[in-house]
């Protein structure tokens, strides 16, 4: 009886791992594409922030603060939008 239960357990576990491997193979391209999309939005976010920092160097102190704040806000907005877009893939 114990051998039969143990054999059943191993057959169930084998089926479980086969199903998990199959699902992982199906999801792998989607995960890769999602990471690629997020990386593209992250790069755009860094470039946007760099643009606003360089733009703020030419302004006086108060205006530079507002320009940097706009750059940080836009950067965060791009990251959030990129994360949502990547999760939708």
| Predicted TM-score of the model (pTM) | 0.74
SS (H, E, C) 24-50: HHHHHHHHHHHHHHHHHHHHHHHHHHH
Residue from 77, 81, 83, 79 nearest 42 by CA: 79
Residue 23 CA to residue 40 CA, distance in Å, equals 26
Q: What is the pLDDT along the chain (89 residues), one digit of tens a residue?
A: 677 888 888 888 999 999 999 999 998 999 999 999 999 999 999 999 999 999 999 999 899 999 999 999 999 999 999 999 999 86
**Structural tokens at position 29:** 């391209």
List the domain boundaries for the chain. 2-87
């Amino acid at each position: 009886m114990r051998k039969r239960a143990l054999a059943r357990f191993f057959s169930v576990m084998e089926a479980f791992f086969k199903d998990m491997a199959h699902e992982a193979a199906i999801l792998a391209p989607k995960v890769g594409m999602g990471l690629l999309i997020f990386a593209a939005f992250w790069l755009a976010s860094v470039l946007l922030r760099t643009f606003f920092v360089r733009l703020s160097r030419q302004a006086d102190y108060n205006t530079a603060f507002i320009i940097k704040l706009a750059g940080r806000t836009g950067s965060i907005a791009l990251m959030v939008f990129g994360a949502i877009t990547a999760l939708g893939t």
